[in-house]
Amino acid sequence: MAENGRKILAAVDEGDESMYALTWCLKNVISENSKDTLIICYVKRPRAVYTTMDGHGAGYMFSPDLMATMERYSNDVAQCVIDKAKRACKDLNDVKLETVVELGDPRDMICEVAEKLNVDLLVMGSHGYGLIKRAFLGSVSNHCAQNAKCPVLIVKKPKSNGGNGTH
């Protein structure tokens, strides 16, 4: 490990696989006492459901209260994922840990963050969306592997652990 002070961006989401990818990266890429900076990134998806409904002027499908509740829920999920990721990193000594939460399409936002922060490596799980959504939108990791300008490490959760993954 010749490099010092690399910036590594780990994109995480609600799925087990992204946490597996983060752990794999911690074990295999980041030295415990390196001067690396690890940036944990979570992208909240906009609630397309109620934003498009709003736009048609037909009144609220969801009350402002409910929207506020959903917004709060979305923030809670983001915080929960970030906290879980941070706990996974607790053994890193000198590694600088940063977190980024963005709002938007994860495929674009992850590439944008990687570019904006000029990271040396992007690490992510191979899936991300659920099976159905992925069939329509394409895989997040696929998109990032093609569009990010930095090296991309795509980690799959092995299927051999009794099938309790998020595939």
Instruction: Tell me whether residue 7 or residue 44 sits nearer to its own copies (CB atom).
Output: 7
Contacting residue, 115, 156, 166, 167, with its own copies by CB under 8 A: 156
Q: Is position 90 an interface residue for its own copies (rule: CB under 8 A)?
A: no
Q: Is position 140 an interface residue for its own copies (rule: CB under 8 A)?
A: no
Instruction: Tell me whether residue 3 or residue 71 sits nearer to its own copies (CB atom).
Output: 3
CA 92 – CA 89 distance, rounded (Å):
6
Q: Residue 71 phi/psi, 5° resolution?
A: -60, -45
5: left (phi over 0), alpha (psi -120 to 50) or beta: left
Q: Is position 37 an interface residue for its own copies (rule: CB under 8 A)?
A: no
CA 104 – CA 137 distance, rounded (Å):
14
Closest approach of Cβ 24 to its own copies, in Å?
6
* 8 A C-beta contact, residue 8 and residue 119: yes
Q: Is position 155 an interface residue for its own copies (rule: CB under 8 A)?
A: yes
Q: Is position 29 an interface residue for its own copies (rule: CB under 8 A)?
A: yes
Instruction: Tell me whether residue 88 or residue 150 sits nearer to its own copies (CB atom).
Output: 150
Neighbours of 109 (CB within 10 A): 23
Instruction: Tell me whether residue 2 or residue 48 sits nearer to its own copies (CB atom).
Output: 2
